Amino acid sequence: MDILWLLSEIRTPFGERLFQLITYFGQETLILAAICTLYWCISKRFAYQLGFAYFTAGLLIQSLKITFRIDRPWVLDPAFKAVESAVPAATGYSFPSGHTQAATALYGSCAAVSKKRWQKVFFVCCFLLVAFSRLYLGVHTPKDVLVSMAITLFFTWLVYHFQSVLLDERTYIRVITLFMVLASAAVCIYALILLNNGTIELKYASDCCKAAGAGCGFAAGFYLERTRLDFDTRTKTIGGQLLKLFIGLGITLLLKLYLPELIGKSIAARIFEYFFLVLWVLVIYPYCFSRLSLDRDN
C-alpha cells in the first residue's frame, strides 16, 4: 500500500485522465476486437497464439482470484481513495489483475512475434503502461499486477515456443481441445463449489464461470475451425476485408451488449453468453462470410 499512497499524492487531473485512457487498452472489449480483427482479416495463426495465451492465463488468473480472495486497496485500507472514474470497472477480487493479464496477453504476444527491436520495446511498454495505470488509479497493488504479468508472460512464452505443436500438428487437435475443455470445466466446478459452501459471493463465481465459458468456446471453436471449416482470411479486395471486419465487429458488439438481456444474467447464462460469443468469433461468423464468398464466386 505504500506505493499506492505515494502515487496518490502525486496524482493530477491530467494524469488521472491520461491513465484512465491507458487502462482502457487492457479492457476485455478491446482484446476481443483485436482477436476478431486478427482472426478474420490478418493472421489466423497469430490470433490463435493470442487466444491460447489470453484464455489459458485468464483461467488461472480467475482461479487465483477466488482462491486468495484479496480485496481491493480501498477495502484493505478504508482511508485510501482510488480514482473515482476507475472504480466501476474494477470488479471482482484484486489479486491478480485482470486488466494487466489482458494487456500482457495482447501486447506480449505482439512483442513475441515482432522482428524489430523497436517494435518489441514498444509492445512491452504498452503492457507495462497498462499495469502502471492500475497502480496510479489505485485499483490494484504492485503484487496484483506483477503476479498477473508474470503468469501471462509465462503462458505467452509457452504458446510461442510450442506453436508448432498447437497449430501445425493436426494429430494433437483433439488432445488440445480436451485439455482446454477439462481446464475450463475444472475452473467452473471449483467456483461453483466455493459459491455453494458460502466461501464466495455470486458475482465472484459469475466472473470465474464466464472465463470458463469463454475457454470452452475457444476449445470448441478451435476444434471445429481446424477440422471442419479452415476458412481463408483473404478477400479479393481491401474493401471486402473492411466490410467483413466492420459487419463482424458490429454484430459482435451487439451480441456483447444485448445477449445478456435476452438470456438473463444467471451463472448458466453467463457461461453460455461467453461460450457463444467466442464460438461466434471463431466459427459462426467465419462460416457465414465463407459461404457468402463462395456464393458470389459461383
Helix axes 117-136, 13-23, angle to 10 degrees: 120
In a domain, 293, yes or no: no
Q: What is the mean pLDDT of residues 235-240?
A: 83
Q: What is the mean pLDDT of residues 211-240?
A: 91
DSSP reduced 3-state for 23: helix
Question: For 284-289, which contacts have Cβ atoms below 8 Å and span 24 or more sequence positions?
Answer: 285/40, 285/248, 285/251, 285/252, 286/39, 286/40, 286/225, 286/229, 286/231, 287/229, 287/231, 289/40, 289/231, 289/244, 289/248
Rounded to whole angstroms, the Cα distance separating 237 from 23 reads: 35
Which of 171-180, 233-242, 273-282 has the least mean pLDDT? 233-242
pLDDT at 296: 54
Per-residue pLDDT tens digits for 34-53: 999 999 999 999 999 999 99
> What confidence tier does 246 reach under pLDDT thresholds 50, 70, 90?
very high
Whether the predicted pLDDT of 115 surpasses 70: yes
Rounded to whole angstroms, the Cα distance separating 275 from 289 reads: 20
- Over 195-247, what HEC string results? HHCCCCCHHHHHHHHHHHHHHHHHHHHHHHHHHHHCCCCCCCCHHHHHHHHHH
Whether the predicted pLDDT of 87 surpasses 90: no
CA distances from 49 to 66, 80, 218, 222, 292 (A): 26, 39, 12, 11, 27
Per-residue pLDDT tens digits for 2-29: 889 888 888 999 999 999 999 999 888 8
Whether the predicted pLDDT of 294 surpasses 70: no
Q: What is the mean pLDDT of residues 166-179?
A: 90
- Phi, psi values for residue 193, rounded to 5°: -65, -45
What whole-number percentage of the chain has pLDDT above 90? 73
Q: What is the mean pLDDT of residues 93-98?
A: 92
In a domain, 122, yes or no: yes
Cβ(105)–Cβ(53) below 8 Å: yes
Number of domains composing the chain: 1
Mean residue pLDDT of the chain comes to 91
DSSP reduced 3-state for 150: helix
The residues near 34 (Cβ < 8 Å, ≥ 6 apart) are: 50, 106
In a domain, 86, yes or no: yes
The residues near 236 (Cβ < 8 Å, ≥ 6 apart) are: none
Rounded to whole angstroms, the Cα distance separating 99 from 77 reads: 22
In a domain, 160, yes or no: yes
In a domain, 290, yes or no: no
Rounded to whole angstroms, the Cα distance separating 210 from 274 reads: 6
pLDDT at 57: 95
This prediction's pTM: 0.91
Q: Which among 60, 132, 122, 71 has a CA at the least distance from the CA of 99?
A: 132
Q: Which among 276, 275, 288, 248 has a CA at the least distance from the CA of 37?
A: 248
Domain assignment of residue 24, given as a range:
2-285
> What confidence tier does 293 reach under pLDDT thresholds 50, 70, 90?
low
Whether the predicted pLDDT of 298 surpasses 50: no
In a domain, 98, yes or no: yes
Rounded to whole angstroms, the Cα distance separating 5 from 28 reads: 28
In single-letter form, the type of residue at position 167 comes to L
In a domain, 292, yes or no: no
In a domain, 167, yes or no: yes
Q: Which three cell numbers, joined as nine digits, stand for 276?
A: 457463444
